Amino acid sequence: MQEKLEKFKQLIAQVVDLGRAEALLGWDQLTYMPRGGAEDRGNILETVAGLSHEMFTSKEMGDLLTELAPYVDTLDPDSDDACLIKRTAHDYEKSTKVPTEWVAEFARVTTLGQIAWEEAKAADDFEVFRPHLEKVMELRRAYADFFKPYDHVYDPLLDDFEPGMKTSEVKAIFDALRPQQVRLLKEIAAKPVIDDSFLHIPYEEQGQWDFGVDVITRFGYDWNRGRQDKSVHPFTTGFGIDDVRITTRFDPERAASALFSTMHEAGHAMYEQGVSKTLRRTPLANGASMAVHESQSRMWENLVGRSKAFWQFFYPRLVKQFPAQLGNVSQEQFYRGINKVEPSLIRVEADEATYNLHIMLRLELEIALMEGSLQVGDLPQVWNRKMEEYLGVVPPTNREGVLQDVHWSGGMMGYFPTYALGNLVSAQLWEKIHLDIPNLEKQISEGKFEDLLHWLRLNIHQHGAKFEPQVLVKRVTGSTIQPEPYIRYLRGKYSEIYNL
């Protein structure tokens, strides 16, 4: 049996290598590839994705998984080998339902779609992107059909990013969360508006870059195993445990954008840098799910990066970096400014109290697109109507509306709900972390993050994708994903800021 296990590991390592090569091509596409290279890059990605799928869904892989199934019962269920075989069997069963031709076509279409999205956003012209999105949606509905019968057409897509979770579960969580967040927003809206005008003046780009680099270096981001570049939409991608890269972006009208993007992406990257090296070249050398992944990025960006303790240490350094902009702004004014609650157009710039509403809107639209009750051509109008309904604001342009996110160009329907779920997980973990590290706030106020990162390494990072998200969250916190800790966090924070 040991010989079969080693053969299985060799084969799965080759599949993982192809996936990493595909990721490297994708990273280059979004950072340094010349704009004219889209068609050639699409052809390359089509070939690589097809080869990877063929290798993974081969008869040899299927035979090995069948032969290893009885062996799993003899192992510790939490062992690397048991988790690897079970996770691969789940992915294999799902992948064998998807034809290689679909996988190759999807890679090509989404590569062209991402370039078209960039052009459409720059030109504020949805029609440039529309035919590409229509083709993406056609492929996504075909993908869901491979998994009939299902409880809901959205389930197969959601499972790609949040293994084991159903659309009905997400709806139930959001239904419990929405009224409490709306209630909080109404209370805040009755209070005086916070002045954050000092954030909307020019800040030199290199200074923003340097400050962000200093912050995430102190967090524990390992520059020997990573790098940072610029992209249209910030993202993190890894080509192995020892090569996890991030990007950020600069907005001349939002000085805090690059800093919080850098912290956010570093949270993702430190997760993957912390995966146990015993999981190298396996499908387990990733996050447990996108919600758990997002819990790490949102924790470092918000629970740490927007906290009063954090700025006790870092604000004097920021003022030194930007004396002309912040010399007359007190630390308290700055803290209140970066935590201002105001319904806004752009998801990635949204405050913590309104962010989840952006996600709920997108989930509603994705489900409607998948069900066929909404057509791609009607998206701009429906988007604007839903923005007014959810947040009370209407985008003046499609660039600030339906074209603001990159995800649909890459076919990532099913991804958006994980952003809000990640917020909830971050708050659950935060409560447990405070129990285990009682002086955490003091450490943060002194610019010390070693204990926090060690806790995350021990309880979350090292396990990679060994456990399903709900299982992992329950192992660490004692319960599955719940909205109450997040509401407690928001209530506590904003009651103090707005004197609720």
CATH for 288: 1.10.1370.30
> Is residue 225 in some structural domain?
yes
265 is catalytic: yes
- Cβ atoms of 238 and 23 closer than 8 Å: yes
- Cβ atoms of 173 and 421 closer than 8 Å: yes
Q: Distance between CA atoms of 385 and 394, rounded to whole angstroms? A: 7
Q: How many other C-beta atoms are found inside a 10 Å radius of the C-beta of residue 491?
A: 16
Classify strands 244-248 and 236-238 as parallel, antiparallel or unpaired: antiparallel
Q: What percent of the chain stands above pLDDT 90? A: 92
> Is residue 49 in some structural domain?
yes
Are 118 and 227 in a shared domain?
A: no
pLDDT level of residue 11 (50, 70, 90 thresholds): very high
Contacts of 391 (CB under 8 A, 6+ apart): 343, 344, 354, 357, 358, 361
Q: Distance between CA atoms of 356 and 20, rounded to whole angstroms? A: 31
Predicted local confidence at residue 357, as pLDDT: 94
| Range 310-331 average pLDDT | 97
Q: Distance between CA atoms of 334 and 464, rounded to whole angstroms? A: 36
Q: Which of 121, 149, 177 is at the close of a domain? A: 149
Predicted local confidence at residue 417, as pLDDT: 95
- Cβ atoms of 449 and 152 closer than 8 Å: no
Q: Distance between CA atoms of 241 and 356, rounded to whole angstroms? A: 30
One-letter amino acid of 107: A
Q: Distance between CA atoms of 398 and 345, rounded to whole angstroms? A: 11
Find the Cα–Cα–Cα–Cα dihedral 355, 361, 365, 368, rounded to 10°: 130
pTM recorded for the entire structure: 0.90
Cα→Cα distances 319→97, 312, 330, 331, 332, Å: 56, 12, 10, 9, 13
> Is residue 117 in some structural domain?
yes
Q: What do you get for the CA distance between the two ends of the chain, in Å?
A: 64
Whether residue 233 is predicted with pLDDT greater than 90 in this model: the reply is: no
pLDDT digits (tens, 9 = 90+) for 372-422: 999 999 999 999 999 999 899 999 999 999 999 999 999 999 999 999 999
Exactly one of 46, 265, 272, 352 is catalytic; which is it? 265
Are 112 and 207 in a shared domain?
A: no
Are 245 and 335 in a shared domain?
A: yes
Are 174 and 145 in a shared domain?
A: no
CA geometry: angle 32, 35, 38, nearest 5 deg: 100
Are 114 and 199 in a shared domain?
A: no
Whether residue 1 is predicted with pLDDT greater than 90 in this model: the reply is: no
Class of residue 451 by CB neighbours under 10 A (exposed 0-12, middle 13-18, buried 19+): middle
> Is residue 435 in some structural domain?
yes
> Is residue 19 in some structural domain?
yes
Q: Which of 86, 120, 149 is at the close of a domain? A: 149
Are 427 and 472 in a shared domain?
A: yes
Are 282 and 176 in a shared domain?
A: yes
Which of 180-189, 252-261, 312-321, 481-490 comes out lowest in average pLDDT?
252-261
Whether residue 281 is predicted with pLDDT greater than 90 in this model: the reply is: yes
Q: What percent of the chain stands above pLDDT 70? A: 100
Query: Which residues sit opposite 244 in a β-bridge?
Result: 238
pLDDT digits (tens, 9 = 90+) for 92-112: 999 999 999 999 999 999 999
> Is residue 160 in some structural domain?
no
> Is residue 159 in some structural domain?
no
Are 173 and 144 in a shared domain?
A: no
> Is residue 156 in some structural domain?
no
Whether residue 208 is predicted with pLDDT greater than 90 in this model: the reply is: yes
Which of 245-254, 290-299, 323-332 comes out lowest in average pLDDT?
245-254
Q: Distance between CA atoms of 114 and 69, rounded to whole angstroms? A: 40
Predicted local confidence at residue 164, as pLDDT: 86
> How many domains does the chain contain in total?
2
Q: Which of 104, 121, 149 is at the close of a domain? A: 149
Question: How far, in whole angstroms, is CA 240 from its chain's centroid?
Answer: 18
Predicted local confidence at residue 349, as pLDDT: 83
Predicted local confidence at residue 35, as pLDDT: 84
Q: How many other C-beta atoms are found inside a 10 Å radius of the C-beta of residue 358?
A: 25
Are 344 and 261 in a shared domain?
A: yes
Whether residue 318 is predicted with pLDDT greater than 80 in this model: the reply is: yes
Q: Distance between CA atoms of 490 and 301, rounded to whole angstroms? A: 15
Are 224 and 300 in a shared domain?
A: yes
pLDDT level of residue 252 (50, 70, 90 thresholds): confident
Q: Distance between CA atoms of 404 and 419, rounded to whole angstroms? A: 16
CA geometry: angle 444, 447, 452, nearest 5 deg: 50
Predicted local confidence at residue 99, as pLDDT: 93
Are 363 and 460 in a shared domain?
A: yes
pLDDT digits (tens, 9 = 90+) for 59-81: 999 999 999 999 999 999 999 99
Whether residue 431 is predicted with pLDDT greater than 80 in this model: the reply is: yes
Are 127 and 221 in a shared domain?
A: no
pLDDT level of residue 232 (50, 70, 90 thresholds): confident
pLDDT level of residue 38 (50, 70, 90 thresholds): confident
Which residue range(s) make up the domain with 240?
167-498
Query: Which residues sit opposite 238 in a β-bridge?
Result: 244
